[in-house]
Amino acid sequence: MPSNEELKALIREPRESLNMELKRALDLTKKEDTSKLIKACLALRNRNGGHLLIGFHDDGSPNPAAIPSNAKDMFHTDEVQLILSRHSSEPFELEVRFVEHDGVGYPIIIIPSGVKTPVAVKANYPKENQAQNIPFLLVEHAVYFRSLNSNNIASTTLIRRQDWPDLMQICFDNREADIGRFIRRQLSNIDLPQFVEALRSLPELAPQSEIDINQATAFHLDSRERFLKRLQEEKLSMPPGYWEATFVISPPVQEYNANERFMNLIISANPRLTGDPPWTGPSYVKRADFTQSSCEFLHHPAARHPSGQLDFWRASPAGRFYHCRALEEDTEVFPVQPPEGQALDFSIAIFRAAEVLAIALSIGRSMVSEPINHTLSFVFTWTGLKDRKLGCWADPGRAPGLGGRQAIDDAVCCKLAVPLDSPNSTIAQYVQRVTAPLFAAFGGFELDPSVTEDLTRQVIERRFR
């Protein structure tokens, strides 16, 4: 489950998305409000998990007056769990956490990922008034889902015909992840050299498109130049270290323009796996800069960005996205920080790579009708590495024999292509490919793939230690 710091970042300026719903107020002593809670939880579960934030208006502003004095009793995990168990066709665990903001504790209901069978309403739920011809608040067998309306704004709704492929894909991906873990357990005792030799006898996969990778590289470099220009305009300097990520959808997308509708899609499709994900920002639809071909956003500590980090991102409706962020090891994100410019935390690198891949897959699928016909081309770079030491300051308990390994090179780059229809269960293997050259820059260090898989799953399943 997310840490308290992640949840605090989540509620500073929350936005509705496919995996986050905001409710201005809920009073669980009223059946109508209870039905809204049930709908929201079922919809988030079918969307593979997320957060229900109570006490926030649709625009993300807090509504402290809506939090009752007995909120901790009313929204106790056991109470909410009991309501769901009575009305959900499939049982699933949830957690309620209270996060303080400006002196008020707001309930956040955390719905886990892992749905393998669509959850539906288990039984009819009548209104308070039992008068004849009054419809039920909830109807048996109804399936709710987080979906996008015509303006690309996320909402909870009865599932529509066009939503079923998304729900089926989510369930299939989660089943595939279980099968993959089962196979890996069975393969753990086989003769590895024989297995590798057998794999070599298989036909080679088609090489990734150099043209697509080159297009991603060109957008990456062009966006970096734009970032440097914006810094100059704002009289800001580059941080001592930073990481960049670009993804490009190929073939290009044709149906969007650089406008608020496109921005709504980015907001809604971003799964917000952490409290401060890439390609987002506080109230950024109102403050983004739009050009004819793209939109961009620069935020920095002076602009009150929640994490206090220097961030820049750029998005093109043709399906090209760039993000740059100062290395978190050099900021005050965590209570205990290493000296600025002297550290790289391998767990943070994995978290962010996994998050970028998950966001890209989610946004990409929301932009095209046939993901199977598209590819994502990625470029990742880390700059300002020279003389940094590899470690794990976010979670000091993880120390896989690093031995003070230090970087000699100042920058590392990795490029790869990922099919847009790839399930989330495959993200760990791509994270391994992305981060391997980064870690190798520190004295040839190789991280055990099982560590990468564990950390990636923590991100995808929204459970941080």
Q: Note the pLDDT of residue 465.
A: 47
Q: Note the pLDDT of residue 307.
A: 45
Question: How many C-beta neighbours within 10 Å does residue 124 have?
Answer: 14
Q: What is the pTM of this model?
A: 0.80
Tokens of 53: 């934030």
Which residue, chain included where needed, has tokens 């009289």? 235
**What is the Cα–Cα distance from 288 to 259, expressed in whole angstroms?**
10
Q: Give the mean pLDDT of 273-297.
A: 74
Rounded to a whole number, what is the distance in angstroms from the first to the last CA of the chain?
A: 7
Helix axes 346-367 and 260-269, enclosed angle (nearest 10): 130
Evaluate if residue 170 carries a pLDDT over 80.
yes
Tokens of 144: 């709710």
pLDDT 10s digits, 139-168: 999 999 999 887 788 999 999 999 999 999
Evaluate if residue 334 carries a pLDDT over 70.
no
- Confidence band (pLDDT; 50, 70, 90) for 442? very high
Helices (H) and strands (E) in the chain, counts: 12, 15
Asked if 361 and 420 touch (Cβ cutoff 8 Å), the reply is: yes
Q: Give the mean pLDDT of 444-449.
A: 91
Query: Any idea of the CA torsion for 213, 219, 222, 226, to the nearest 10 degrees?
Result: -150
pLDDT 10s digits, 21-80: 999 999 999 999 999 999 999 999 999 999 999 999 998 999 999 999 999 999 999 999
How far is CA 421 from its chain centroid?
17
Evaluate if residue 396 carries a pLDDT over 70.
no
Q: Note the pLDDT of residue 237.
A: 83
- Confidence band (pLDDT; 50, 70, 90) for 395? confident
As a whole number of Å, the CA-based R_g of the chain is 23
Q: Note the pLDDT of residue 206.
A: 42
Q: Hey, what CATH class is 4-166 in?
A: alpha beta
Mean pLDDT rounded to a whole number for the chain: 86
Evaluate if residue 282 carries a pLDDT over 80.
no
Percent of the chain predicted with pLDDT > 70: 84
- Confidence band (pLDDT; 50, 70, 90) for 131? low
251 three-class SS: coil
Evaluate if residue 284 carries a pLDDT over 60.
no
Evaluate if residue 400 carries a pLDDT over 70.
no
The CATH 3.30.950 portion of the chain extends over 4-166
